[in-house]
Amino acid sequence: MTDLKLELKEKIIEQLNLEDVSVAEIGDKDPLFGEGLGLDSIDALELIVMLDKDYGIKLADPKEGKQIFESVETMAAYITSKKAG
Chain residues binding another protein by CB under 8 A are 16-19, 38, 40-43, 45-46, 48-49, 52-53, 62
If one counts every other C-beta atom within 10 angstroms of the C-beta of residue 69, the result is 23
- Name residue 72's amino acid: V
Nearer to another protein, 2 or 41 (CB): 41
| Whole-number Cα distances in Å, 24 to 3, 16, 42, 48 | 14, 16, 24, 23
Nearer to another protein, 1 or 49 (CB): 49
* Closest CB 56 distance from another protein, rounded Å: 12
